[in-house]
Chains A and B, each alone.
Chain A
Amino acid sequence: MSLSVKVVTPQKIFFEGSADMVKVPGWQGEYGVLPHHASMLTLSRPGLLSLQNGSQTTRFVVDRGFVEVGPADISVMVQRCVAVSDINKEEAQSMFNQAKEEFSALHRTDPKYEAARKQVEFTKILAQA
């Protein structure tokens, strides 16, 4: 038995498929989900989401969001998602640098501060994936 996996972003269903095990960047640390897991609703941090199928692993970089786990299915709702195989190293690095630059120019009280911080968080993972 395998888990049916759905990764959904506000724009579309990003990925739909199945996996033997799913690793999720949870709020309190990474955790793995196998079939027959107890039902659970958790927040997730920006990080790597990996789906294991036998010896094959598919990885995604996900932004913050939340995860709903059922006995046979798992839904990941995130703001943004990029497949690791689609990442362009240089582009990701330059995005990270740009985000860092913009962030360091902002003061704590700036309304854009939070958004910029989140952008740095996300692009950092992109660059390192």
Chain B
Amino acid sequence: MASLRDLKSRITSVKNTRKITRAMKMVAASKMNRAEEAAKAAQPYQVTIKRALDRVVAAEDDIDHPLLSIPDNNRDVLIILLTSDRGLCGGFNSHIIKHAQKTISELQSDGKNVSVLFFGKKGASGLDSKNLQVYRAVEGNNPKTFADSSASLCDELVSLLLQNKFERTLLLFNHFESKMIQTPTTQQVIPMKIEESEVQGGDYIYEPGGEQILSELLPMVLNAQLLQAFLETEAGEQSARMQAMDNATRNAGEMIDKLTLQYNRARQAAITKELIEIISGAEAL
């Protein structure tokens, strides 16, 4: 049986761990609230820009833009994988990595040549990169740099498209459905898909022409999509971390209870033993 001192030091160390996990949980909770608010605040832009796009598309009969058409290249596919930089956030990264692995194998069995652009350390280290090209790995993307990095990524994707480098560009990220649920999602960003919509384009004046508006508008839509994915990844990471740390805190609490019980029993046993020794000693006299 473990000695009293051993038990005591174990209890202290688990208590310290609980302190850390509890602090991490609180930090994650406040970051999550901020991230969720940012994701919500970004919604109006998405909605209005999407509506404007639908309107232009509805008004133009003949749409022709590089971002909408399928390029001649039919071999290379670019995957943008969004993960977090740090761990300790439950299954957040492993889910999306598993999803990415599956997507990549499917593409490869179709004979595609897959390159991956990583955002977040965990993606680059977690994905089995034997058979794929790493296009680039970006670290340290945080809420302060989201706007800049989505804008520059957007410019880069457009120029890659014009150079005919990739057939398709897919964006893989954890879609933030709620605090409890994040679903790994694949979104095709290039060529863009335009859904049929009810919006009428009829009575509007377009200045300059519809085509030129489209060529400005499409990169903006792309940019908004990327930004949204960044924001959702951030919110998802924080909420996953909050849950993981909540569980850890609870487990530590249970462990402390169990160890304390053991400690008290051991202490009681030691006292009883000592008493017996004293009494039997006295009787012998």
Contacts and interface: CB of A to CB of B under 8 A. Distances in A.
B279 interface: no
Interface string A100-129: 000000000001101100000000000000
A10 B216 contact: no
Interface in A7-36: 8-13, 26-28
Contacts of A40: 204-207
Contacts of A77: 45, 48-49, 52, 220
Interface stretch (B89-97, B149-157, B251-259): B149-157
A7 to B, nearest CB: 10
Contacts, number: 85
B44 A66 contact: no
B61 interface: no
A47 interface: no
Contacts of B56: 41
A114 B159 CA distance: 10
A73 B147 CA distance: 27
A12 B42 contact: yes
B52 A66 contact: yes
B45 A68 contact: no
B208 A28 contact: yes
Residue among B151, B207, B216 having the largest count of chain A Cβ atoms under 10 Å: B207
Nearest to B231: A11
B224 interface: yes
B204 A43 contact: no
A42 interface: yes
A82 interface: no
A11 B206 CA distance: 26
A43 B48 contact: no
Given A10-B147, A40-B206, 18 more contacts: A10-B223, A12-B41, A12-B44, A40-B204, A41-B52, A41-B206, A41-B207, A41-B213, A42-B208, A64-B216, A66-B52, A66-B216, A68-B52, A77-B49, A77-B52, A111-B159, A112-B152, A112-B155
Interface of B: 38, 41-42, 44-45, 48-49, 52, 55-56, 147, 150-152, 155-156, 159, 203-208, 212-213, 216-217, 220, 223-224, 227
